[in-house]
Structure 1
């Protein structure tokens, strides 16, 4: 195992544990308050980026059901493949979020639940700056368990 690349370790771990992780943590209850917070803040038919989307359950499912357009990104090929099967009405991209290229001001909101903990600390500031650039004016981020002050855009 290459312990020199922590992101590869995370990717391989989620590839192996995808179904088990979903059974253990895919319920609405764990993420419900964060999803509700996001739904209260976004306009109708909003475009939302889900960083670290996993299988799309429950975040993308909840947002699509509420009439929003969701793009999910995850480093795990297995998670993305399952997300595409489970949530065909959302778009999913297999990518390392720190290398993701997206147009500026292309999302009304970004949700990132437990993904930042898997990204090396030295890469987090640049990622957060890029996330801020992807937000439309007035957009914001729901970082889940993480606090990311200053990401709300004017």
Structure 2
């Protein structure tokens, strides 16, 4: 499939399949394990960015319920509309993750689960560098990335009739990109999904 604007494919795909995606993935127990570990690492009433927040479930809702101040960003207008309904105690912004602006040292943590892999490869290292600047010293990035390199589409994603697009490098490349961004990689694990999976990284701003 020839993709003129992959970000538009991603936006339209999530606009169309917001509820379908939530029903497919929101109950994944791995999210709660990861978020539980994050809550142990950040201060009370921490300021957290959920980058690629989707409908706000489960990440923004879990963290906001725990008393953290959450800002969610997503490219999909439908996802943001639903997030504002589902998690009214958080703040949400429709924006391209590679274009959104925040002051330096704004967040105690940035969470980006299954979002970086929807961004063109050339734009991912600069985004990681910007994320590093948004973190306060000692702040955490919790992110899923590709485990093996792949770029491609699914024309009937999740059986919902919409097209979705992904592009990601392999885990070793992401490890290098995180280090080059000025972050210290503190943990890495494989997060299985179906016949494959992703890499989960814990990285910290020194």
TM-score relative to the length of structure 2: 0.71
2:31–2:58 CA contact under 8 A, matched in 1: yes
Alignment of structure 1 residues 108-119 onto 2, 5 Å: 108-119=108-119
SS in 2 for 1:38: helix
1:89 corresponds in structure 2 to: 89
Task: Determine if the alignment matches structure 1 residue 9 to structure 2 residue 61.
Answer: no
1:34–1:144 CA contact under 8 A, matched in 2: no
Question: Larger relative CO (CA 8 A, sep 6+): 1 or 2?
Answer: 1
1:99 corresponds in structure 2 to: 99
Once the two structures are TM-superposed, the CA of residue 28 in structure 1 deviates from its matched residue by 4.9
Once the two structures are TM-superposed, the CA of residue 84 in structure 1 deviates from its matched residue by 0.2
1:113–1:143 CA contact under 8 A, matched in 2: yes
Name segments (4+ residues, structure 1) moved above 2 Å: 144-151
Alignment of structure 1 residues 34-45 onto 2, 5 Å: 34-45=34-45
SS in 2 for 1:22: helix
Provide structure 2 residue ranges, at least 5 long, that are not aligned to the other structure: 147-173, 184-203
Once the two structures are TM-superposed, the CA of residue 65 in structure 1 deviates from its matched residue by 1.1
**What is the rounded CA distance, in whole Å, between the counterparts of 1:101 and 1:56 in structure 2?**
20
**What is the rounded CA distance, in whole Å, between the counterparts of 2:89 and 2:75 in structure 1?**
20
**What is the rounded CA distance, in whole Å, between the counterparts of 2:32 and 2:16 in structure 1?**
26
SS in 1 for 2:130: helix
**What is the rounded CA distance, in whole Å, between the counterparts of 2:145 and 2:66 in structure 1?**
23
**What is the rounded CA distance, in whole Å, between the counterparts of 1:37 and 1:120 in structure 2?**
29
**What is the rounded CA distance, in whole Å, between the counterparts of 1:119 and 1:40 in structure 2?**
29
Once the two structures are TM-superposed, the CA of residue 37 in structure 1 deviates from its matched residue by 2.1
1:28–1:58 CA contact under 8 A, matched in 2: no
1:73 corresponds in structure 2 to: 73
**What is the rounded CA distance, in whole Å, between the counterparts of 1:100 and 1:60 in structure 2?**
18
2:50 corresponds in structure 1 to: 50
Deviation per residue, 1:57-113 (Å, 9 max, x gap): 000111011110000000000000000000000000000000011111000000000
Structure with greater strand share of residues: 2
1:138 corresponds in structure 2 to: 138
Once the two structures are TM-superposed, the CA of residue 5 in structure 1 deviates from its matched residue by 0.6
Structure with greater helix share of residues: 1
2:32 corresponds in structure 1 to: 32
Aligned length: 154
**What is the rounded CA distance, in whole Å, between the counterparts of 1:55 and 1:35 in structure 2?**
16
Provide structure 1 residue ranges, at least 5 long, that are not aligned to the other structure: none
